[in-house]
Structure 1
Amino acid sequence: MYAAVTLFVFMCLTATSHADHHHHPCHSPNMTGFMSVMTLKGEVRAHGAFTYDSMGKKLRFRSNESHPVNTSIGLDVLMFFEEGVFYEIDSKNQSCEKKALQCSIHPMDIPDDAKFHCAMNLGNPSIEGEGFKANVWTGDIPGKKGVYSMSVTMGCLPVSTIYFMDSTTILFSILDIENEIKDPDLLVVPSFCQGQPLEETPEGTVNTFYNEFI
């Protein structure tokens, strides 16, 4: 599946297409689902459940501890994109770190300044259930020398996002989406995190959602 999604994006990036200038970035609805993160070298960085509040611009991601991923086991982050802060949560030890969020880009929603690149079909769209159509949006990664490519369904559900950077290339795949927030409490700061002081950001550091996986 990862190979198919990656090939799909690369095909679209290299295809000759005439972008429709009437396309404007859509915005994803509330969502609950699963997300897998891996490099194009095949290194799995994380796999876990997410909850996304599209109106409040809040995102919770918790990696699945039963998944054999050494680098991100136990990762639990709560992002408040409008407030510009996020929490790294350790529920087991009842502790957390509160940090400034310098960049609001993330794989659950198309940035407002994204550029429509193309629409592509996989499979046979003339046969029901045998075709898949998606729009691909691209843009620059703020604070990094790199670009992103995001594919979404016609209904604006994210399918995959690739961040092409100097140091690494990371693929985010979004799976088993449900158009609802199944557990609103996941988007509330845990009681043991409330009142936590904001940590000082080291000079030159740009905190982002995707940086949690680099």
Structure 2
Amino acid sequence: MYTAVTFVVLICLTAATHADHHHQPCHSPNMTGFLSVMKMKGEMRAYGAITYDSMGKKLRFRSNESHFANTSLSLDLLMFFEEGIFYEIDSKNQTCEKKTLQCTIHPLQIPDEARFLATINSGNPSIEGEGLKINAWVGSMPDKKGYYSMSVTMGCLPVFSMYLDETSFMFSLLDVENEIKDPDLLVVPSFCQGLPVEETPEGTVNSFINEFM
């Protein structure tokens, strides 16, 4: 599976140079839903609830240990992409770590420099409820050592995103609603407020994606 997906994405990246360059990356709406994170070799890395503020560029991800998937990570992340900081939260022990974001790329928003590939019909569009029209976007990772491919609905709702580098992942969205159901999830918890930003070790790149490595 990994080899096949890699092959398809590389073809897409080659074809992207011939795509219609009049398309501009769209901006995702506010979201509440679930996000699954899977390594391209088949390991389910994490599954959890998301709350995303598209205008404020804020994201909360909380892994759901009660889900059927046997995930290897337990995470509670509050990301502030505009400010370039994020919090790793432990609500049980009421502790936090406040860190700097070196890379703000994430699977819920198409980067401004992404290249439009094509509009694709998934399934059978001639039968109601059996097809989905999506736009595919591709680009290089910030460190230029890998690539990403993002597929979104015509309303710019992400369906899945793939990141291919030394450790490759696929992020899939499920049961998404275009609203922020609980705004308090995007507020820094009282026990996290006033914390200093931790020093980032040399060579470390903090990003939403890297939290799943």
Q: Contact 1:100–1:201 (CA<8 Å) still a contact in 2?
A: yes
Partners of 1:109 and 1:59 lie apart in 2 by 11
Q: Contact 2:9–2:149 (CA<8 Å) still a contact in 1?
A: no
2:76 equivalent in structure 1: 76
Q: Contact 2:137–2:150 (CA<8 Å) still a contact in 1?
A: yes
CA deviation digits over 1:139-176, x for unaligned, max 9? 111135101000000110000000001x2210000111
Shift of 1:13: 2.1
Shift of 1:128: 1.6
Aligned-residue Cα RMSD (Å) equals 2.1
Q: Which runs of 5+ in 2 are unaligned?
A: none
Q: Which moved more, 1:191-200 or 1:144-153?
A: 144-153
TM-score by length of 2: 0.91
Q: Contact 1:135–1:151 (CA<8 Å) still a contact in 2?
A: yes
Partners of 2:121 and 2:175 lie apart in 1 by 20
Identity of aligned residues (%): 70
Q: Contact 2:13–2:139 (CA<8 Å) still a contact in 1?
A: no
Shift of 1:15: 8.7
1:11–1:102 CA distance, 2 compared to 1 (3 A): closer
Q: Contact 2:48–2:62 (CA<8 Å) still a contact in 1?
A: yes
- Superposed, which structure 2 residues align to 1:1-214 within 5 Å? 10=9, 13=12, 18-67=18-67, 68-73=69-74, 75-143=75-143, 145-165=145-165, 167-214=166-213
CA deviation digits over 1:65-85, x for unaligned, max 9? 113435212x10000000000
Q: Which moved more, 1:181-190 or 1:167-176?
A: 167-176
Q: Contact 1:12–1:118 (CA<8 Å) still a contact in 2?
A: no
Partners of 2:11 and 2:184 lie apart in 1 by 39
Partners of 2:78 and 2:211 lie apart in 1 by 12
Secondary structure of the structure 2 residue equivalent to 1:212: helix
Partners of 1:197 and 1:14 lie apart in 2 by 41
Q: Which moved more, 1:143-152 or 1:156-165?
A: 143-152
CA deviation digits over 1:5-46, x for unaligned, max 9? x69x74972795751221100000111010000011110000
Counterpart AA for 1:200: E
Partners of 1:169 and 1:70 lie apart in 2 by 16
Q: Which runs of 5+ in 1 are unaligned?
A: none
TM-score by length of 1: 0.91
Q: Contact 2:161–2:171 (CA<8 Å) still a contact in 1?
A: yes
4+ runs deviating over 4 angstroms: 9-12, 14-18
Q: Which moved more, 1:138-147 or 1:27-36?
A: 138-147
Q: Contact 1:12–1:120 (CA<8 Å) still a contact in 2?
A: no
